[in-house]
């Protein structure tokens, strides 16, 4: 089988490519990435010698490139997206262009094929809005209620994928995942930002009181879930993939400062960001029942592996600062 992976020089996409090439030895992958600030050729440099891997620098909004590549493959796995909420608050333009228009271009390319390749769309739990402490977790039937330009752009892309399934009968699936963490994550996101700050002896900054709750999934567990959706998932369906690790951001900060033998004076509380969602949490029951998937990485183990990776790989992340 031949795959097109969009955004494969980014965090989750690069981890997916490594996993797939290791576990599907007869498959080949084309990695299409425009190489923005968060997508770096260095992240996938170790794959360049693999004969089953090809890198193409290009934009998913470029119809000519996308049409050419999609026509060659059996499966498209769509990771490419602008993802940082804070950046979307400053300017939403690139989020709409990449996340909405880019997804439309990909779907149109799939539609043009005589035998349309399978299309898997990777999305986020943020499309569902915000929960309070007592609300039931998000699931596949939760109404959409995006509250930032980023989550609104991802919600729009999800709706496009479903529309192309219903209108054109394209073979699509969607996954909505909780917050990922692990190696190769750009150090603007919470966990790698805190880790790299602490390595440099700097304080970690928490919005508001730090009580906002997120559900954390180790990147390898997320990738395994995507693999199982591709192999076992029902075309046209959505699957929610959560880590079952709900923690307030302040608890993440405390775990990390303990790892680095610091005290709580290394936590700095700053003004909350606009429209800051209070809680995200995913109910993965459908994926567990239909696919036999479940997250396997204990949060403490995953966090320790992540911290160690950033300590061992300063050459990768330090230039980004």
Residues with catalytic roles: 125-126, 150
CB-based contact 105:63 (threshold 8 Å): yes
CB-based contact 164:112 (threshold 8 Å): no
What is the rounded distance in angstroms from the CA atom of residue 105 to the CA atom of residue 172? 15
What is the rounded distance in angstroms from the CA atom of residue 181 to the CA atom of residue 177? 12
Smallest CA-to-CA distance from 75 within 108, 115, 22 is with 115
- Residue 167, Cβ density class (10 Å: 0-12 exposed, 13-18 middle, ≥19 buried): exposed
CA angle 87-136-247, nearest 5°?
Answer: 55
- What does the chain come to in residues? 321
Residue recorded with tokens 């609104």: 152
Q: How many CB atoms lie within 10 A of CB 28?
A: 17
DSSP 258-313: HHTT--GGGEEEEPPPTT---B--B--HHHHHHH-------HHHHHHHHHHHHHH-
CB-based contact 95:149 (threshold 8 Å): yes
What is the rounded distance in angstroms from the CA atom of residue 232 to the CA atom of residue 242? 18
What is the rounded distance in angstroms from the CA atom of residue 91 to the CA atom of residue 85? 10
């Amino acid at each position: 089988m031949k795959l097109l992976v969009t955004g494969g020089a980014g965090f989750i996409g690069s981890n997916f490519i490594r996993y797939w090439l290791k576990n599907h030895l007869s498959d080949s992958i084309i990695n299409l990435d425009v190489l923005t600030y968060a997508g770096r050729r260095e992240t996938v440099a170790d794959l360049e010698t693999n004969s089953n891997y090809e890198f193409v620098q290009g934009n998913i909004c470029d119809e000519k490139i996308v049409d050419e590549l999609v026509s060659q493959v059996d499966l498209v796995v769509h990771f490419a997206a602008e993802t940082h909420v804070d950046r979307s608050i400053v300017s939403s333009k690139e989020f709409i262009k990449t996340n909405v228009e880019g997804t439309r271009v990909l779907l149109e390319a799939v539609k043009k094929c005589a035998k349309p390749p399978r299309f898997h769309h990777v999305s986020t739990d943020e499309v569902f809005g915000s929960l309070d402490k007592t609300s039931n977790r998000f699931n596949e039937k939760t109404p959409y209620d995006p509250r930032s330009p980023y989550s609104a752009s991802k919600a729009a892309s999800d709706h496009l994928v479903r529309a192309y399934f219903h209108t054109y009968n394209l073979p699509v699936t969607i996954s909505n995942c909780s917050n990922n963490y692990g190696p190769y994550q750009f150090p603007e996101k919470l966990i790698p930002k805190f880790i790299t700050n602490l390595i440099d002896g700097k304080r970690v900054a928490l919005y508001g009181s730090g009580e906002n709750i997120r559900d954390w999934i180790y990147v390898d567990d997320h990738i395994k879930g995507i693999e199982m959706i591709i192999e076992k998932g029902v075309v046209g369906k959505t699957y929610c993939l959560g880590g079952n690790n709900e923690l307030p951001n302040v608890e993440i900060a405390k775990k990390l400062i303990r790892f680095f033998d610091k005290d709580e004076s290394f936590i700095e509380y700053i003004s909350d960001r606009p429209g800051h969602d209070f809680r995200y949490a995913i109910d993965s029951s459908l994926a567990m029942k239909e696919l036999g998937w479940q997250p396997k990485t204990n949060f403490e183990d995953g966090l320790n592996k992540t911290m160690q990776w950033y300590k061992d790989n300063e050459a990768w992340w330090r230039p980004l600062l």
